[in-house]
Amino acid sequence: MHRVESLNRIRVFPRKDPHALRSSSVRRRRSVRGMTDTAQSQLVALEGSYLTPSLEHARVADAMRAGVISCPPDTTMEVVARIMASNHVHAVIVSGLAGGAPWGVVTDRDLLGVASDAADRIAGSCATADPVTVPPDERLQVAVELMASHGATHLLVGDPGSEHPIGVLSSLDVAGIVAWGRG
């Protein structure tokens, strides 16, 4: 079954009918063109919030996901994949890496590289031991530049006092600020 959501209702279409999704999108497009005033105001309400700062004014703390999901270094990549899928995240912090690094990060891109033998690989050997970190009070524009220059899709956000990770900033978090930021 496949769910297609509209502003006022949810319709369920069986996957067997390949035309069901196509016809629902046509119906949805038609309903947007002929939208009632109430529906148009609901759509405008989704457009943004005065509480979300623009990219130029935002700090890392405005966009980051607070808290981290972590695992020990001997966790198999298969389990890491389950952690990512269950929590809808693209990065897992690996704590206590060999070689003295206090933590590392395994991203979905690391997982793709070992997907064929994920059950035999461990997180400690796949983690980036020196992830790029930023403090929560850093300007988001600087964090975006760091992401671009390092080719990173995730940055660890470290506590300024202890340097322990307190959150993760992803490219999708940045996209939310770009899309919805107004202030």
Q: What pLDDT was estimated at residue 162?
A: 84
pLDDT tens digits, 64-113: 999 999 999 999 999 999 999 999 999 999 998 887 778 899 999 999 99
Q: Is 76 helix (H, G, I), strand (E, B) or coil?
A: strand
* Torsion over CA: 100, 106, 110, 115 (sign): positive
- Architecture of the domain defined by 60-180: Roll (3.10)
- pTM of the shown model: 0.69
Sheet of strand 154-158: strand arrangement: 65-66, 165-170, 154-158, 133-134
In the chain, residues under CATH classification 3.10.580.10 are 60-180
- Mean pLDDT of the chain, nearest integer: 79
